Amino acid sequence: MRASNRRAVIAGVHNTRQARRLEEETSRSLMVKAVLGALDDAGLALSDVDGVSAMADSTSLIYDLGVGPAWQGQDFGAGMFAEAAAAVEKGYAEVVVLVAAQAGSYTDRAATAPWTRPENEFVAPWGMFTAAEFALIARRHMEVFGTTREQLSRVAATIRNNGDRNPEAIYRGRGPFKPADITASRPIAEPFHLLDCAMTSEGGCAAVVTTAERAGSLRRDPVHVLGAGVDFFGPSYQFPPSFDLRGRRDAPSNGWAGRRAADLAFRQAGIERDDVDVLELYDPFSFEIIRQLEAMRFCPEGEGGPFVEDGRIELTGSHPVTTDGGLMSFSHAGANPQMMQRVIRGVQQLRGDAGPLQVPGAHVALCTTGGAGALFTGVILLGDDLP
């Protein structure tokens, strides 16, 4: 199949140092390091950039980096890559740098991280925070389908064991973990225990999106954006996070957020679920992996628990998930960096850069961001070649 030269690719990626706390850094200093790192990875310079995507920071970065006139993106997570891909395919920009970073905003350890605390008057008085929002989704699934505490532990142990072996992970060398270790950790918001939950950390990351034509002469083999989609049900943490929340169309409920997005992404890519070699699933809490496997049709509804029990999601299994240790063990900085990092990990796997955690022969990666507890899920499919 002959592809259009304007097909979007990811030509460079970079993670700054990640740590529980980066005393000497600010969010801005990390953004600058990440941008320069990703451009260097691609073999490009700031003078090549004519697009910036950094949510609310896009416009000030265009000024501070001196890259105007430039296209600016506003989206986040998987949608951020989809938006940048559309921009280069349409010709609004040639080289877009996507960046996110966070340092210095979580210092009061008596409370949960500030971005997890809702301010809404119908939410805040009930002591809600992100773990509780996602726990309400998980508990409903356990009640309806019989998903077990042990199945949650199996997921968390798998992901934390990936992080244990990842030299770049903040929690490298903390394992190995057995499922019983997860269950034995202290309860946070049941069914979730401490080791079911993402950590909090600081760090930044960036990626470069350009056209296949432009990437042909660059330093690294490009990774193709094969397809993408995003499902939103409303703002995060302002309404009851109900599994059965649905809109007026005949479409999946919030519990299956990401199904429509995945269906769209696979249709654009012209590939099937079986073509996916590695699943860089967003892992804010252990249950979310089980839910996403069902939502994205890797297994039938209600069968995600049994699906994760037999080693399928481990690195050597048929559906290896979250191979850097994810939000639980690699890093979980701020709202957007840790989402971008799911996609960056997909790129690393397809370029053969995943070191001891490389999935052999990985040609297609599915990356996700978000979850039903936050009323949205985004999906992006990456390939080392076009199908």
Binding residues (CB under 8 A) for other proteins: these are 110-112, 116-117, 119-129, 131-132, 135-137, 139-140, 143-144, 186-192, 238-243
Burial class of residue 115 (count of CB atoms within 10 Å of its CB; 0-12, 13-18, 19+): middle
CB of 107 to other proteins, least distance (A): 14
- Measured CA to CA, the distance from residue 265 to residue 256 in angstroms comes to 15
Closest to other proteins by CB, 24 vs 121, is: 121
Closest to other proteins by CB, 243 vs 266, is: 243
- Measured CA to CA, the distance from residue 171 to residue 20 in angstroms comes to 9
- Measured CA to CA, the distance from residue 100 to residue 317 in angstroms comes to 32
CB of 147 to other proteins, least distance (A): 13
Closest to other proteins by CB, 1 vs 110, is: 110
Burial class of residue 146 (count of CB atoms within 10 Å of its CB; 0-12, 13-18, 19+): exposed
Closest to other proteins by CB, 177 vs 243, is: 243
CB of 199 to other proteins, least distance (A): 14
Closest to other proteins by CB, 72 vs 183, is: 183
- The residue with tokens 């971005």 is 115
CB of 251 to other proteins, least distance (A): 16
Closest to other proteins by CB, 191 vs 370, is: 191
- Measured CA to CA, the distance from residue 183 to residue 204 in angstroms comes to 31
- The residue with tokens 């992970």 is 169
Closest to other proteins by CB, 201 vs 211, is: 201
- Measured CA to CA, the distance from residue 178 to residue 185 in angstroms comes to 12
Q: Give strand ranges (E) for the chain.
A: 8-15, 51-53, 71-73, 95-102, 187-189, 192-193, 203-211, 223-232, 278-280, 364-371, 376-383
CB of 226 to other proteins, least distance (A): 36
Closest to other proteins by CB, 146 vs 355, is: 146
The residues facing 12 across adjacent strands are: 208
CB of 203 to other proteins, least distance (A): 23
- Measured CA to CA, the distance from residue 9 to residue 85 in angstroms comes to 7
- Measured CA to CA, the distance from residue 377 to residue 259 in angstroms comes to 9
Backbone angles phi, psi at 84, to 5 degrees: -65, -40
CB of 188 to other proteins, least distance (A): 5
CB of 304 to other proteins, least distance (A): 17
Closest to other proteins by CB, 136 vs 264, is: 136
The residues facing 379 across adjacent strands are: 229, 368
- Measured CA to CA, the distance from residue 354 to residue 296 in angstroms comes to 24
- Number of Cβ atoms within 10 Å of the Cβ of 300: 10
Cβ distance 16 to 41 under 8 Å?
A: no
Tokens of 342: 């799911």
CB of 154 to other proteins, least distance (A): 20
